[in-house]
Chain A
Amino acid sequence: MKRRCWLPLLCALAFWPAVLADAQGRIVIRPAIERPPQPATPGDTANPDAVKPVEPTPEEAERIAELIEQLGAPRLAQRDRAMAELAGFEARALRQVREAKNHADDEIANRCALLEEVIQSRQAELFLAARRLSLQPNELERMLAAPDVKPLLEILRARAQPGLTPLWARVLAMLAARPQVSQAAQLCAELEGVEGYGLALAEAARFAALGPDHARGLAALASLLPPSRAPEAVDALAFCGVRAGGADGVQEALRAAWVLRGQYAATDVLAALRPPDDPRRRLEGDGEGLRQAVVLCMTPAATDPELRAAQLPALGAMSPLVLAEYLGLLRRSGLVSRIENVLVTLVASGASARVLGAAGAAWADAVDVARMQAEFSALPGPARLGALDALWLNPREPERMHPFLLGLLRGPDSALREPAARMLGQYRAPSTVRALADTALAGGPVAVTALESLAPMADLLVSAAPEQLKRLVALLPQADLALRAVLIDVLVATAWPDAASALRAQWLEHLPRNEMLAACRLFSTDPSHPAGALAAAVNRAVERSGGAARDRASGAVDYQILVLMRVLLAAPADRGFELLVRVCADETSGVRSFAAGALALAGKDGPYIADWIRRVVGETPDAQGMALAYGVALSTSDAAEDFRRRTLQQGASARHLSLVHESVLAGRSRTVTREDLLRVLFDTPANARNWLFSDILDGPLPPDVRRTVATTLLFSEDIQPLDGIAPALVLADSGVDVLQLLFGDDADARPRDAQRTMVTALMGNPQRARELVARADVGADGANFAALQFARAYLGMVDAAVARRLLRHGGGQGVPRLLLLKQAAQGGDATSARMLLDRLAAGSGRFAEGGTAGVEIRVQRWRGPQVEFDGVAGEALRGVAGGQQVSADRLQSLFGQPLPPQWSGWWACRRALLEYDPAIGKYRIKELP
């Protein structure tokens, strides 16, 4: 609205000279525009948002008076210059301009009336900027709003001179959500210098009309090209965070502050804790808290004296956000005693649970485990909880933590037994198994948690706790529903024959729906029985779909399988197989594919396989013939083998290649090997596109396949090499010279876009990569700017401190970040390794990085409520299935021991035991007693 208000005024001002020229020398000069009637009272009293007059210095007042008189000068150019200069004084000229509205000279009076409106519009600087660029204000306005900003940038490059900070602020604010903003920022920095750039950025962030996307863009910009002075950076980030709004706004600001950490000396940053004198720089409500958090986050480390000198808010006045950043700073700074002081002070002052929890977590992270254990019992409850959370997330010193947790589990404090049981789930060991089993057998509120922790390491029960195992089996009949479900999981996982017998006996009597998948896991070990065969077919489908089959499979199929399974369990084997055959013949059956799969897994498909193949390929009319493909894929009969060979001979265009693919993945093909199949699937990049996300790529690849995969990823129009972690890992470990592939021997080659730039840096020969990156330019749309910065930093082409910042910025949170973590992990950084594995494992929602969370519900009139999650809320609250479904093979290079295919569950019970072994340059899992 403000823009709409001031634009006509500026236009009028721009055209005024012509009007005056016309009138000059003839009659009393008046502007040729109709101005709205002046309000009876000054704008600043009627409108609280109006610009308030600021008293000028005496020198300024004198100059302003002089300029007002020049508004009536005989020469038009002189009058215009005076007006432009007056506009530059903004609020400081307001009082005198208002007074001059009653000037005897009509020209002066009219120009002052107009000037007052220009000043009130807060666009005086822009007006000036337009003048200095030799543009009309409305022309400049149009250019600022235009989708193509190239003309504006060209004009700025050609005509701009230093001192146009307000214009740059506006340019940056308007472009903030667009890729070209990087170029504009670069140009601004070149022309205005770092200080001017910093001012422009800070001013842009304060721009009232800034939308959330723009604010996020600006925050990123601040981290990309830091202003020279810490206060401007702090200002910019805090304002961006507030303008962006919600938890994401805060998160964005803090992330940018994290990127800038190390850029400034601690004292410089900490000075920004002092509330700004300029009222325009102050933020309302939580905004000042965000400013403090930004300062503390941005500070690399501080000494005790530096902190004493800083104007830190009192502990009691710190919001949780600020306190979290403050504790982080203390931890970074190694000021353990200060953390302890914080904790003690908070305890003594009877602080709330939320604050004590945060302090407890920081303390536990900062001190060594022995110290934590020694003083743990002295902590108040919330601080203990915080400490345990911190050690759950970043487990250390397992040899010490393990007995400590066993002690808590057996201890008298019921509030700690539950978290102890949960934490012990990461410490796979015979003693853990025994303790958890004892806890489960003792019953009570921790029993279910104990069994849940036990489940992933239940295989140890047979050897480590045979007596408890027997008692757990005996517990089965009387276990209530909550305990029973997880007890079944444990017993199935033991693979102990007696446990299996007990379960089988119960399920023979009655198999409830809620236990069907567990039953499938148990029975699938014996496909010679029809129920076992069906179970194996179902189980395989569940595993192939990443465990989410339960959710995705249609309800009808679920319950039809249940009915079928019940019948098969009760029937003699021959009748069971006969039933499966009948189901296969029934076109209307929803479980036809599972029945076919079961027959194939049981080796009973011989008489039918030829018919199935005919139905699959359409030789025999069958509306649902493709349902039999699962059976054909799992069949080991000669006919199926022959079909696979024939299909493979047809090459990559064969219609039923996916069926062969399924056979090979299931290990059911005798004659078609994985290599044969790989060569067909990946014969050309065009064909390879269809299989880039297939599990067939897990494991070693022939050189030609690796090259095809790399070529496909690097040159496909619709697939980006870093869009998914799984193919990115294949590319990174392919051993292919990606730079040779991308650029050949072209001496003038350069990466063409952002992703190729990243690939060049991350996966190529460093020397060649540096040459290539050095040649690269920012594209017309600016989209590759950040990637280029990242590449230069990664390749050591910039100063170390800057590089660190750019790497943090450019690594982002997506695939590049995971690749960086993998590289750090390969370098022996166990924390990076754990973070990488956590992000790729199931339940990754709880590992989401970030310190804010929000949920907004927007009621839309036609679609009903829409939930929007900010910060870490989405993954943590919704319980996203989590994990990016990366197979063990693609992480195998990290470990000195083989990983099971379903490594996610494997990882769950060994998280705390990860250890880097420098001798082999790999990770191994510690053994605990």
Chain B
Amino acid sequence: MILHTIQTSPAKGNRLALCLRFMREQDSLLLLGDGINSLLSPQIKQQLSNTTLYLLQDDVNARGLANALMQYDMISYEDFVALTISHNKVINW
């Protein structure tokens, strides 16, 4: 079980696309920073519909996206720490 993290916007590169190619069903994905912007794309939203997905709450709130993304699982930094322990490793793309 791997926790994958994406910090960059899909407008800036292919980090998320690469991650999704090599991510397995049992893995989880955490979007933080501009990685959160990925969910503003309907195509990516659709693509992530079966993924275990977390968003860093502070970064969502900072961007004024709390309402737009309220359907997703928002986590604190403390939760983030716990996820790094409950997964076998973390890959930051």
Does B bind A?
no
